[in-house]
Structure 1
């Protein structure tokens, strides 16, 4: 015979215990809603000013007794310039190519870092130490201005017609090639640590089991270890890509006509410094926002985030401002397990 042991009834009203926290949470919830509405009105006013800047100019003059130092019509005009869109396209292409090459270099460096061969470990450690320990701006300058001189001295063809001389001329005269090489080498050093952390996170028994099945080390790494390590590698890789998109602005020192250099040349010609830089910032924000959304989708597909249960719009707003905890629907105390007597 078995019985169920239930907790003794309590004299206290459980709703009275929750009433205080719920009221406090509701207060913050409605306060956040009010602040959000104010922010939405401000944003709507700024967007309306892009179409009709007159009210904003009058408000600024009445408040600060000076004209607003921001030419809104020229700000709109900046988005129609063909050289700006060409710079945006070049920025995105450079970021994609450099990040892709950096991932490949990082994977090779991570495999060398975990290798049993001491020479491979030493070369990988030296590469990571140098490129992580020096500024990326300095690396870009060295690659664009100094590597070509070094390569010219290494050409065995004294006439200067060898492939080494051609490579030196390409790096020294092409800002895109120099920026691509510098950013790829720098990114490879950081990606190597990300890939190595993903590999180390996998239990060593996985590799031992693969070897027991007759797999070689490269085959086991490709089919067993790396697919499992992707869940650790993908999230920081997305962050690195977003960072790479912004780091491409440093290649402007090498003369690459990307978004930052185009913006500098534009305000040097028009003297609209604030308008041009704010518009360039809008471009960078748009690109990084798209990449952030893509990264979130990839992480969700890989199971890095829990799937949220879809609720009504009001409850979704509550979860947005107050978190996922819900004191109104607190789970009742679990009953003790059955005990045979």
Structure 2
């Protein structure tokens, strides 16, 4: 029976910290892109813009109803056969795009629910004083909706970070890939995956702290 090698697991941590930057960069970029897309989708759905509304609903349904790993493979290995111009896309870019599209589908529903939680009378009041729909959203509705959406959006960010572990299947060397390679090289899979699980857990705990601070800051205004 193989004994858990504590020294091996501890020695992996500096190596994983080196590739932590790749995981966090991928996740933060994906989060920013996903938020932009999610806001656009939520606004389109709320306004029920002709043509764009049914397209966005189909897109949200697709990305929420299919596995992330299948989406990543479809994007990186499948679409290149239809669009040869995508041959130059590297695995990191494909992973960021895939994570962004997947997360935006969930975030858009989160934002849509938060927008609906704001009293309709506020939109009517904004329109009555001459604001456009977009001005009312930007100045009055969205600031209140964001406060409601912060807990769910924080969970979405955690999901992005956990989903980034699938990027190693495309060839991106990040936290999970490091654990996989080190475990395979030494046959110490238990130690390698214990170390990587602890790394992801620590990231989630740190994000939980940030979420708490954000909620506290937003609640000070109410």
TM-score (norm 2): 0.94
CA offset at residue 111 of structure 1? 0.8
Q: Is the 8 A contact 1:175 1:255 kept in 2?
A: yes
- Residues 73 and 201 of structure 1: is their aligned pair in 2 closer, same or farther, counting only changes over 3 Å? same
Structure 1 segments (4+ residues) deviating >4 Å: none
Cα distance in 1 for partners of 2:83, 2:47 equals 30
Partner of residue 175, structure 1: 91
- Is residue 167 of structure 2 the alignment partner of residue 262 of structure 1? no
- Residue 292 of structure 1 pairs with residue 182 of structure 2: no
Supply the distance in 2 between the matched residues of 1:102 and 1:117 (Cα, whole angstroms).
20
Q: CA deviation at 1:189?
A: 0.6
State the alpha-carbon separation in 2 of the partners of residues 199 and 209 from structure 1: 15
Which of residues 136, 141, 157 in structure 2 aligns to 1:220?
136
Mapped to 1, the partners of 2:14 and 2:92 lie a distance apart of 24
Q: Deviations over 1:122-159 (max 9, x none)?
A: 1111111111111111001101101222222xxxxxxx
SS of the aligned residue for 1:69 comes to coil
1:192 and 2:192 equivalent? no
Q: Which residue of 2 aligns with 1:97?
A: 29
Distance in 2 between the 1:176 and 1:191 partners?
Answer: 22
Confirm or deny that 1:132 pairs with 2:64. yes
What secondary structure, in the 3-state scheme, does the structure 2 residue paired with 1:79 have?
helix
Instruction: Specify the SS of the correspondent of 1:302.
Output: helix
RMSD of Structure 2 on Structure 1 (CA): 1.6
Structure number with greater Rg is 1
Deviation readout 1:85-144 (Å, 9 max, x if unpaired): 232110111111111111111111111111243312111111111111111110011011
CA deviations over 1:150-180 (Å, ceiling 9, x no partner):
222xxxxxxxxxxxx2xx1232xx1101100
**Structure 1 residue aligned with 2:12:** 78
5 Å-filtered alignment, 1:29-108, equals 69-81=3-15, 84-108=16-40
Deviations 1:186-229, CA, capped at 9 Å, x for gaps: 01111110111111111111111111111111111100111111
Aligned partners of 1:184, 1:150: CA distance in 2, in Å? 21
Q: Tell me if structure 2 keeps the 8 A contact 1:132–1:186.
A: yes
Question: Retained in 2: the 8 A contact 1:170–1:177?
Answer: no
TM-score, normalised on structure 1? 0.62
Stretches of structure 2 lacking an aligned partner (at least 5 in a row) = none
After superposition, the Cα gap between the structure-2 partners of 1:116 and 1:278, relative to the gap in structure 1 and judged at 3 Å, is closer
Match of 1:234 in 2: 150
Task: Give the secondary structure class of the aligned counterpart of 1:118.
Answer: coil
Given that residues 88 and 259 in structure 1 are in contact (C-alpha distance below 8 angstroms), is that contact kept between their aligned partners in structure 2?
yes
Asked whether the 8 Å contact 1:242–1:292 carries over to 2, the reply is: no
